[in-house]
């Protein structure tokens, strides 16, 4: 595995760069400075809200590319590079469908903020780990002054068992993505991490052979295809382990940092 030609590193956040406490290691921030000195581009690619991602990566937020909302939004500093939205008619249709999902909470992921109805304080406490900017509204159908990036649905009983079977019939029209154990996302077909990363590679003139990708869940699958050096975390979903070319240690055992160290050493 020759990492000496790597020019771009893209990593998922939850279950990958973040440990189980939702924190980024000090080791990573030290390594980022070394990567920057070596001219290597860093991309944070997550299902999270953009503002949540840059909150986690605040010390370096102006120096990185961010693929947020599972690929619906790409940012560099304060500059919006790409945005893929759902039109309002389809959004309203999806809201009607999600009303029948018992025990689920629906989030409208807007460009400005996230929107939820009043699901109670316990849900808000959990939700705010992933959304820095949000508003509680009486009815999600009444949100008009924002772009609809995606609809995220939460079900504590499990997204693969309770949400995906009820919504998979939409796959001929939308991206229906199980993005976590309790999360499922509905978005435009082009709103995925792989599509967004591919556009960024084109913009930067960087090839898959010069790219490293890290991921752990199904919303990382498309991104894996954009890198010769695709790494599944030890804690990854079986689907990710099947398509990734390589494995690394778990997010709690600094799996991303271990490979970054190899990249840095290969350049010395």
Contacts of 263 (CB under 8 A, 6+ apart): 3, 6, 9, 35, 40, 212
| Direct distance between the N- and C-terminal alpha carbons of the chain, in angstroms, rounded to an integer | 16
Give the other-Cβ count within 10 Å of 121's Cβ. Answer: 8
pLDDT at 173: 93
Of 18, 158, 168, nearest to 97 (Cα)? 168
Q: How far is it between the farthest Cα atoms of the chain?
A: 57
pLDDT at 219: 95
Measured distance CA(174)–CA(176) in Å, rounded = 6
Measured distance CA(44)–CA(61) in Å, rounded = 10
pLDDT at 100: 82
Contacts of 109 (CB under 8 A, 6+ apart): 49, 69, 72, 148, 149, 150, 151, 152
- Give 126-130 contacts, CB < 8 A, sequence gap 24+: 127/154, 129/22, 129/52, 130/47, 130/48, 130/49, 130/52
pLDDT digit of tens for each residue in the chain (268 aa)? 899 999 999 999 999 999 999 999 999 999 999 999 999 999 999 999 999 999 999 999 999 999 999 999 999 999 999 999 999 999 999 999 998 898 999 999 999 999 999 999 999 999 999 999 999 999 999 999 999 999 999 999 999 999 999 999 999 999 999 999 999 999 999 999 999 999 999 999 999 999 999 999 999 999 999 999 999 999 999 999 999 999 999 999 999 999 999 999 998 7
pLDDT at 216: 97
Domains and CATH numbers, the chain: 8-83+191-267 (3.40.50.1000), 88-187 (3.30.1240.10)
Pairing of strands 41-45, 8-11: parallel
């Amino acid at each position: 595995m020759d990492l000496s030609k790597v020019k771009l590193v893209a990593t998922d956040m939850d279950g990958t760069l973040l440990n189980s406490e939702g924190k980024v290691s000090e080791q990573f921030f030290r390594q980022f400075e070394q990567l920057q000195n070596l001219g290597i581009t860093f991309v944070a690619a997550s299902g999270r809200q953009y503002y949540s991602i840059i909150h986690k990566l605040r010390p370096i937020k102006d120096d990185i590319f961010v693929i947020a909302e599972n690929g619906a939004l790409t940012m560099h500093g304060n500059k919006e590079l790409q945005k893929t939205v759902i039109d309002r008619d389809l959004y309203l249709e999806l809201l009607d469908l999600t009303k029948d999902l018992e025990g689920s909470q629906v989030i409208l992921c807007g460009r400005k903020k996230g929107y939820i109805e009043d699901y109670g304080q316990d849900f808000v406490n959990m939700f705010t780990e992933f959304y820095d900017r949000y508003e509680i509204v009486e009815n999600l159908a009444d949100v008009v002054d924002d772009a609809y990036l995606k609809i995220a649905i939460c079900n504590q009983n499990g997204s693969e068992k309770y949400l995906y079977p009820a919504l998979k019939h939409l796959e001929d029209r939308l991206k229906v993505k199980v993005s976590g154990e309790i999360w499922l996302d509905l978005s435009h077909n082009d709103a995925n991490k792989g599509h967004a990363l591919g556009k960024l590679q084109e913009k930067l003139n960087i090839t898959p052979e010069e790219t490293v990708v890290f991921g752990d869940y199904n919303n990382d699958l498309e991104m894996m295809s954009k890198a010769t050096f695709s790494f599944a975390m030890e804690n990854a979903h079986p689907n990710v382990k099947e398509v990734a070319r390589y494995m690394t240690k778990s997010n709690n055992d600094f799996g991303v940092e271990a490979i970054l160290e190899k990249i840095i050493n290969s350049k010395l």
